[in-house]
Structure 1
Amino acid sequence: MRLLGYGLVFAAFSLGLGAYAHNRIDIWIEQTELPLVLSEVGAEVRARDGSLLRAFAVENGRMRLALRLEQADPQFIAMLIAYEDKRFFKHSGVDPRAMIRAAGQAIWHGRIVSGASTLTMQVARLLENTGTGSRAGKLRQMRVALALERRLTKDEILTLYLHHAPYGGPVEGLRAASYAWFGKEPHRLTQAEAALLIALPQSPESRRPDRHPEAARVARQRVLARLSLKPDHRQVDVPYRMQTFPQNASHLAATLRRKAPERRKHHTTIDAELQRKMETLARRAVEGQASGVSAAIMIADHETGAVLAHVGSPAFSAEDGALGFVDMTAALRSPGSTLKPLVYGLAFDEGLVHPDTLINDAPVSFGTYAPQNFDGQFRGMLTVRDALTLSLNIPPILLTHELGAPRLMAGLRRAGTRPELPTGEAGLAIALGGVGLRLSDLVQLYAGIAQGGRALPLHVEQQTTTPNPQHFMSPVAAWQVSHILSDIAPPKGVAAAMGQVAYKTGTSYGHRDAWAIGFDGKHVIGVWLGRPDGTPVPGAFGGTFAAPILFEAFGRISTDRVPLPPPPADALILGTAHLPEPLREFHGRSTAFSDTANSPTFTFPPNGAVLRRSGFGVPIKLRAGVLPLTVLVDGMPMVTKMRGRDVVLPLENAGFTRISVVDAAGRSDSVEIRLD
């Protein structure tokens, strides 16, 4: 009886001692200071379909990408747990069975055969960046593992492992590893790919397949063998190089990250496939060009304002020099002749001219400013339609003088652009490119023209709200401009029917910038070529340098053009002779009531005359006009300081010829003849 009593006392003491020990262990675990369990991940910029455009590294250049557990391949998760920690979902952070098994195997074989670290212990080691060689280090991992299991769910612990496991070099985490070694997201891995990614974290440097391919093969096969998985007959060899992470739309990605450095994900409107095509096109555009020549391309859906492709330069790396990092879609440049459509559109709205109004392309000056055409020639009287098609300089300057330069600047701002003046004061020269604009501004402007004069803001990030666009040009004026631009012939060698694409080219002063901007019924595209440092590119014209790239870009969107819209119901479609009297010929408001009776006029030959070549030249007879007179043939002066009103011009070449006369007061007349 007494022995029974002693036994009960001993049992009670033992239970109490066990409870005391258990309580002390609980306190020991609860007092554990855990490392930071919020994984820092690199910012990502994604395309409209969710695919990765560019990923940014975290501190020390490590590549670690955010991953939700459901994004990982279920087969990989099952293989990982079966290989690394079969009792993961049963133990509390430390697995006594695994420890006993590992110790027994070590005693039996005289060497370590398998480890006893659970996945949770591995997470503890990764979070604290500690080794496994010392007993103190192993004890610390066990303590942290036990604490992690109490404070986190199994899925959260597994997610930490998938973020921090090392895979060689700067690569950490399953998602970054899948990109680095296989160039894809980790939601669909083959057995061989999964096996390699399970084996790598145990010895990430000595098993790197790009440096130690045989060690990688052996480690991969060991995983498959232990899991009793037969090699897939489609199994390929281990990758021989670490792939680069996606770097598409790099300039745009850098801009978005700079504007919002705290954001981890940027969801853009970029079409990933189209972006890659345009980056390839930009690289090809500068092949064989002079040193330092760069290119930029931008594409938008003008119906929604979504930017679909954004190429700031042909390359984005130090190997291409510092200028490769310059985003030329956002650089201030002279737009050359690309603003002329806006000038004409505003003039149409003001009732100054109609597309078939006659306007005089003749020498003119405004104080000390005497604009010239690009080729130095003058065409005399011609329609506004032809003036825009030929990209003449004098007519838009005349119209800007009537509109007022501030009116043109206001039109630019209402269109959604951000013009910057070099002198702070708007002058007539802005019509010819004397203002700073960006490629993105010009795409914005032409998108508005394509949308019937509506300034729909372009956007690169996905948005839920729909802006209410304002008109900067009437639908009729916008259609008239579009219709004229669609009649411009495509560049030589381009198989594209006129009427499908409305476009305009431009060349800035000194051949520093070559532009081509165009649109069809769906897309608007802008192309720029030049040197980012602003030095000239001799021989670079928008029509020959940038326009072919523009049409090739349209071809890479689709070979089937979305047609331009039909004319609005209230569009006035009449020839010159049938226009209302005030619209038949542009005189300018300031000269509308001036005395025109003394303007020089041809009495012979009449306009449209067909003359036979006589060998003695073509006689010219004039009346009125203030002497001296200047006679031009096809825009080039042939007779200057003429004190009479009769002259014989030495013209003998067959074909059409335009003859113009300008008097000392700047008034002019012209005729077109044909010599047979």
Structure 2
Amino acid sequence: MMRARWFVALALGLWLAALGRDRFDDWIDATVLPPLAVEMSIEVLDRDGDLLRAYTVADGRWRLALPPDKVDPLYLQMLMAYEDKRFREHAGVDPRSMTRAVLQAVWNGRVVSGGSTLTMQVARLLEEGTTGEVAGKLRQMRVALALERRLSKDQILQLYLHLAPFGGNLEGVRAASISYFGKEPSRLTPAEAALLVAIPQSPENRRPDRAADKAEAARNRVLARAVGEGVIDAEEAEAALREEVPGIRKPFPALAPHLADRARDEEPQLLTHVLTLDVELQRKLETLAAEAVEGRGEELQVAILVADHASGEILASVGSAGYQADLRQGFVDMTQALRSPGSTLKPLVYALAFDEGLGHPETMIEDKPMTFGTYAPQNFDRLYRGTIRLREALQLSLNIPVVQLTEALGPAKLISAMEKAGMKPVFPGDQPGLAIALGGVGVTLSDMVQLYAALARGGVVRPLTYRMEGEAAEGQRLVSEVAAWQVGDILAGLAPPPGAPSNRLAYKTGTSYGHRDAWAIGFDGTHVIGVWMGRADGTPVPGAFGADVAAPVLFQAFNRLKGKLDPQPAAPASTLLVSNAELPQPLQRFRSRSAAFEMEADAPAVAFPPDGAEVELLAAGLKVKVNGGTAPFTWLADGVPIVVASDEREAMLAMPGAGFVTLSVIDAEGRSDRVQVELR
């Protein structure tokens, strides 16, 4: 009874104060408002705006942004019907509701309804104030009146949508909808909308995960009021009453956790990070990653990276099989870890060799025991095939042929190409040698996917990106379009793993020394995918081969893409599609640089244009000249024969246009020289 009298006195006092309009206005205008900027959870969204991951605010609460136009209108209708029917009309305090509350309190001898408006509730939530104390209620009224003068109705409503308590560390309608229903609040059933209206009145007592019976009873009262106010009809309410109240909280989305962490740490000032990822593909590949290591011990780890090679946009990034502190070291992002690439660098060596005029897919090369100074590499299986085509040497991933090509190119050429591809190779002892071609270098899965994306893109490098930031600039050329296509065509001829569909996927596997890393990287006409498997601490995984372990995961990853594989592009018009016998004589058989110099010191040399020069392109083409060597001569531009078997030391080369080009000349003995020039 005493409490009701205080409530009557409070209301009368407020009305009497209104008589002095000016003084009342001054009193409201002088109100010191609490901070209106509410700390919100950082969100990481996919390319279509779907939630990948969210982070709690500083005090551990979930509080996700939700504008009023992003919540189901049914919820807003039920909320106002139950809590504040005249929300759009009053100035913060509703005299009619207040009068009703006072009369009910006098009649019943206790507070039956508080008469609080949504604005008053926002005032209480902003100040984390009490609900029943007279002083607290007076303060809520004053703050509510001041809020109405400084904010729009939608701004006040948005504060409620952000701050309404839903039990535990859940604040705001969106956090509650995701946690209790596992979905955004943009589309709610009547039962779900009613439950979200009911819980904030007594959030801890009505938590569905702890007091489902009380939550259900409160929800049903909201449904009854909704019927009475004409928000829903009796039939809809009857169906809603049969809907079960969720008995557990669902986990918040935590997809792409490693990449989400990186995005947040790189730009911590942003509340919303929009990434290039596809949420459904990311979810599928995280499931695939978990399946890939299941039953293979407690330490085997996997990482998967998917990109659209035309744009460079990363579509899925799986840094580990599980984001947790376990024996797999799941918190480590293995897409960024330095590992040995094994044989997966070999396609780059072959592409460079094709460009330099050292060979063609049909060129014959010797696969036999060889020494290169003090370096004596062996094939992985310790077997040798004798004379073999370069095409077969790459498909069989033979070591001796690729070391020969690397020696002819020079390790510096390979290193330069890796850096040009945007990779950041790390060399043991900073002394790179021929072993680079066999994996003697530290790279990341991200590096390797970017390299293969350049090959898939026709030899043009474009950095991988994971933020939706508009059109990326065109990249620089790494190898010629012909060389890139030739390598892709060779890799597409590899047999798929047992049980995988035969789909002409261009792919390469690799296994590092000591079975520490198993790789499989491949591309079709649109996508490039890289798979790494091993142990995060770098210890060996006995018996783990890229072809046996990683390749099946690669093919399964492609199967999870939408639609069928896109076919590889057709061969560029300048591609030389002939058999070995039809090749120019110098390209029929590979001859190492050392062998050429042992035969004769008078090797051919490009006399014009000089290496590194800028040369004007004439209408008739580019004039070239060779000194030394033995005729006839073959001239190549970016690995494509332009003039074949010419007895003349000068020639005019028909060129497609301006830009950088590598010119090579090969004499009758197979000796060669090359220069790089810029045509203008």
Shared fold per TM-score greater than 0.5: yes
In the alignment, does 2:521 pair up with 1:513? no
Task: Please say which of residues 268-277 and 198-207 is displaced more in the overlay.
Answer: 268-277
1:241 to 224, 244, 248: 248
- TM-superposition CA deviations, 1:117-163 (whole Å, max 9, x none): 11111111101111123222222111111111111111111110110
Give the partner amino acid of 2:52.
Answer: L
Task: Please say which of residues 21-30 and 279-288 is displaced more in the overlay.
Answer: 21-30
> In structure 2, what is the Cα distance between the partners aligned to 1:25 and 1:504?
79
1:579 to 574, 580, 583: 583
In the alignment, does 2:396 pair up with 1:390? yes
Contact 1:124 1:144 (C-alpha < 8 Å) held by counterparts: yes
TM superposition shift of 1:24: 2.2
> In structure 1, what is the Cα distance between the partners aligned to 2:263 and 2:243?
38
Closer/same/farther in 2, CA of residues 61 and 96 from structure 1, 3 Å limit: same
2:54 aligned residue: 55
1:327 to 314, 321, 333: 333
> In structure 2, what is the Cα distance between the partners aligned to 1:595 and 1:277?
58
Contact 2:320 2:330 (C-alpha < 8 Å) held by counterparts: yes
Helix, strand or coil: the match of 1:61?
coil
2:324 aligned residue: 317
- TM-superposition CA deviations, 1:400-420 (whole Å, max 9, x none): 111111110111122222222
Give the partner amino acid of 1:398.
Answer: Q
> In structure 2, what is the Cα distance between the partners aligned to 1:19 and 1:52?
48
TM superposition shift of 1:371: 1.1
Give the partner amino acid of 1:564.
Answer: Q
1:522 to 523, 526, 533: 526
2:483 aligned residue: 477
> In structure 2, what is the Cα distance between the partners aligned to 1:563 and 1:322?
36
> In structure 1, what is the Cα distance between the partners aligned to 2:363 and 2:204?
76
- TM-superposition CA deviations, 1:317-346 (whole Å, max 9, x none): 34x457111111111111110000000000
Contact 1:296 1:528 (C-alpha < 8 Å) held by counterparts: yes
Closer/same/farther in 2, CA of residues 200 and 495 from structure 1, 3 Å limit: same
1:662 aligned residue: none
Helix, strand or coil: the match of 1:423?
helix
> In structure 2, what is the Cα distance between the partners aligned to 1:322 and 1:221?
48
2:593 aligned residue: 589
User: Any residues of structure 2 matched to 1:111-190 within 5 Å, and which?
Assistant: 111-190=110-189
Contact 1:192 1:232 (C-alpha < 8 Å) held by counterparts: no
TM superposition shift of 1:558: 4.5
> In structure 2, what is the Cα distance between the partners aligned to 1:182 and 1:71?
16
- TM-superposition CA deviations, 1:326-378 (whole Å, max 9, x none): 11111111111000000000000000111111111222223332111111222
Aligned alpha-carbon RMSD (Å): 1.7
- TM-superposition CA deviations, 1:233-267 (whole Å, max 9, x none): 26520001111111111111111001001111111
Give the partner amino acid of 1:514.
Answer: A
Give the partner amino acid of 2:506.
Answer: A
Closer/same/farther in 2, CA of residues 414 and 451 from structure 1, 3 Å limit: same
> In structure 2, what is the Cα distance between the partners aligned to 1:507 and 1:214?
58
Give the partner amino acid of 1:549.
Answer: V
Give the partner amino acid of 1:283.
Answer: A
> In structure 2, what is the Cα distance between the partners aligned to 1:544 and 1:558?
25
In the alignment, does 2:556 pair up with 1:552? yes
- TM-superposition CA deviations, 1:65-113 (whole Å, max 9, x none): 1111111111111111111111222222122222221121122233332
Give the partner amino acid of 2:396.
Answer: L
Contact 2:341 2:512 (C-alpha < 8 Å) held by counterparts: yes
2:303 aligned residue: 296
2:363 to 342, 352, 357: 357
> In structure 2, what is the Cα distance between the partners aligned to 1:394 and 1:43?
52
Give the partner amino acid of 1:239.
Answer: P
> In structure 1, what is the Cα distance between the partners aligned to 2:159 and 2:370?
75
In the alignment, does 2:567 pair up with 1:563? yes
In the alignment, does 2:405 pair up with 1:399? yes
> In structure 1, what is the Cα distance between the partners aligned to 2:374 and 2:146?
83
Closer/same/farther in 2, CA of residues 361 and 232 from structure 1, 3 Å limit: farther
1:609 aligned residue: none
TM superposition shift of 1:559: 5.8
> In structure 1, what is the Cα distance between the partners aligned to 2:330 and 2:345?
27
In the alignment, does 2:386 pair up with 1:380? yes
> In structure 1, what is the Cα distance between the partners aligned to 2:384 and 2:556?
33
Question: TM-score, structure 2 length as denominator?
Answer: 0.83
Closer/same/farther in 2, CA of residues 475 and 23 from structure 1, 3 Å limit: same
Closer/same/farther in 2, CA of residues 322 and 504 from structure 1, 3 Å limit: closer
Contact 1:209 1:240 (C-alpha < 8 Å) held by counterparts: yes
> In structure 2, what is the Cα distance between the partners aligned to 1:507 and 1:183?
42
> In structure 1, what is the Cα distance between the partners aligned to 2:351 and 2:255?
37
- TM-superposition CA deviations, 1:185-243 (whole Å, max 9, x none): 11111111111000101111110111101000000011111232532426520001111
Give the partner amino acid of 2:578.
Answer: L
1:306 aligned residue: 313
TM superposition shift of 1:456: 2.0
1:340 aligned residue: 346
User: Any residues of structure 2 matched to 1:96-111 within 5 Å, and which?
Assistant: 96-111=95-110
Contact 1:482 1:502 (C-alpha < 8 Å) held by counterparts: yes
> In structure 1, what is the Cα distance between the partners aligned to 2:140 and 2:514?
69
TM superposition shift of 1:527: 0.6
In the alignment, does 2:464 pair up with 1:458? yes
> In structure 2, what is the Cα distance between the partners aligned to 1:455 and 1:46?
27
> In structure 2, what is the Cα distance between the partners aligned to 1:62 and 1:428?
55
Name structure 2 gaps, 5 residues minimum.
1-15, 601-680
> In structure 2, what is the Cα distance between the partners aligned to 1:144 and 1:559?
57
> In structure 1, what is the Cα distance between the partners aligned to 2:578 and 2:18?
103
Contact 2:298 2:327 (C-alpha < 8 Å) held by counterparts: no
Give the partner amino acid of 2:540.
Answer: P
In the alignment, does 2:263 pair up with 1:252? no
Contact 1:513 1:530 (C-alpha < 8 Å) held by counterparts: yes
1:537 to 535, 541, 562: 541
Give the partner amino acid of 1:263.
Answer: L
> In structure 1, what is the Cα distance between the partners aligned to 2:34 and 2:427?
55
Name structure 1 gaps, 5 residues minimum.
1-16, 597-676
TM superposition shift of 1:18: 7.7
> In structure 2, what is the Cα distance between the partners aligned to 1:18 and 1:146?
13
Contact 1:577 1:584 (C-alpha < 8 Å) held by counterparts: yes
- TM-superposition CA deviations, 1:582-618 (whole Å, max 9, x none): 212212122114359xxxxxxxxxxxxxxxxxxxxxx
1:428 aligned residue: 434
Task: Please say which of residues 368-377 and 35-44 is displaced more in the overlay.
Answer: 368-377
2:221 aligned residue: 222
Helix, strand or coil: the match of 1:297?
strand
Contact 2:328 2:536 (C-alpha < 8 Å) held by counterparts: no
Closer/same/farther in 2, CA of residues 317 and 131 from structure 1, 3 Å limit: farther
